[in-house]
Every structure is written in structure tokens, then in C-alpha cells.
Chains A and B, each alone.
Chain A
């Protein structure tokens, strides 16, 4: 019940296109859903996050869509650029008795061709 499933494993889009990455979770206790971007040799960097009382959140070219009933959420990257080429991770967390932890999806390797 702690898993977060992410797809696709890899994605190739053309410059200017829309990149869409999907995640599904099982544990309904999750209440915080962030997306991270990771470049080679670097740690993951927080891109955008959403809570389940909101169906959509947009920050610049990045949008999270959240479907609570389906237990799914997705990241949309509009006007994708070669500089967006990186690995993207969805994650989920819940409040525990003390502290919290992130449960990550498997990651999506995004390549944006010029």
C-alpha cells in the first residue's frame, strides 16, 4: 500500500511539445504529492507539489493534475525545452506518528529533442 507507480519509464518529445508523466498511488492516507527533477550528478530538486484538496496546480510551464477518486496524478510540461531533459520522479507522503517520508515512483527519463 506504500507504492507509487510511475509511467512511462522513458519519454521522447520534440521541442515545443507537451510532456506528460503519470503516477498512481494506493495508500489513501497520502496527502502530499511532489514532483522532483533530477539532472545527472545532482540530487532531486523539487519542481511542484500538490495536496489532494486541489485538482490542479500550475507553476510556469509545469502543471500537476490530480484525480483523487482515481488515485492518480500527472505532470504536464508545456512547451518542452531541451533543458528540461532530465529524470522526473513523482512522490507521495503522509503524516506519520512522527515525521514523514517520501515514497517515490520509479522515475521517467525525459529527452526533449531540439
Chain B
């Protein structure tokens, strides 16, 4: 059974640009969550999607957004990138009603 797949693995962007990250959950998992991991702030919840609807959102500015498609794949977008957005962005999926999140290996975003 394939795990959670995140693409790309690494990304370098310039301040002010925007970026889109992709996540394919485990087959059958309909809930997808996104987390940001930085050395200073640790792991922080961004948002959760279920059945193409955002049902939970963390304390991040509106520059961070996401969406989920009918096949449960999800994308997150960060607009007007800032240096502080440099982080490992992790996607996690869980079956409906479950809380045993399975994480992907993440996308390492560097903003220069």
C-alpha cells in the first residue's frame, strides 16, 4: 500500500513569489491535513480537508491556502512568499473518523 506522497521534495523560491505543493494521500483516506515544521516553531497545524471542504484551520495568515480534489489529492498554496515561510511542509492523511495520521516525507521549501 503506497504511503502519502508529496511533491516536489525540495523547492527554492524567491521572496514575493507564490508556490504550490501537492499531496496524494493513502488510497481510501479522505482526510488530508497540512503541517508546517520549522526549528523555531516546531510542528504547527495549517489546515484540514475532507471531501473537498476545509473543515479546520490553524492560525496562519491568509497567504496560506489549500484545496482538495474529488480524488482526495490536496494542494496547498503560499502566496507572496516571505523568508520566514522557509520550512518543511508536511501532509498527513487519515481514514474517515480516524486520528492515526500518516505523514508524507514533506516538501522542503527554501525562500531566498
Contacts and interface: CB of A to CB of B under 8 A. Distances in A.
A42 B106 CA distance: 7
A114 interface: no
A11 interface: no
Interface stretch (A13-21, A44-52, A67-75, A76-84): A44-52
Interface in A59-101: 89, 91, 93, 96, 98-101
A43 B100 contact: no
Contacts of A36: 103
Contact of B58 (A41, A42, A101, A107): A101
Given A100-B99, A102-B101, A44 B43 contact: yes
Interface residues of B, number: 23
Contacts, number: 59
A25 interface: no
Given A46-B101, A49-B100, A99 B42 contact: no
17 contacts: A32-B99, A34-B101, A41-B105, A43-B104, A43-B106, A49-B100, A91-B43, A99-B31, A99-B50, A99-B55, A100-B48, A100-B99, A101-B48, A101-B56, A102-B43, A105-B42, A107-B42
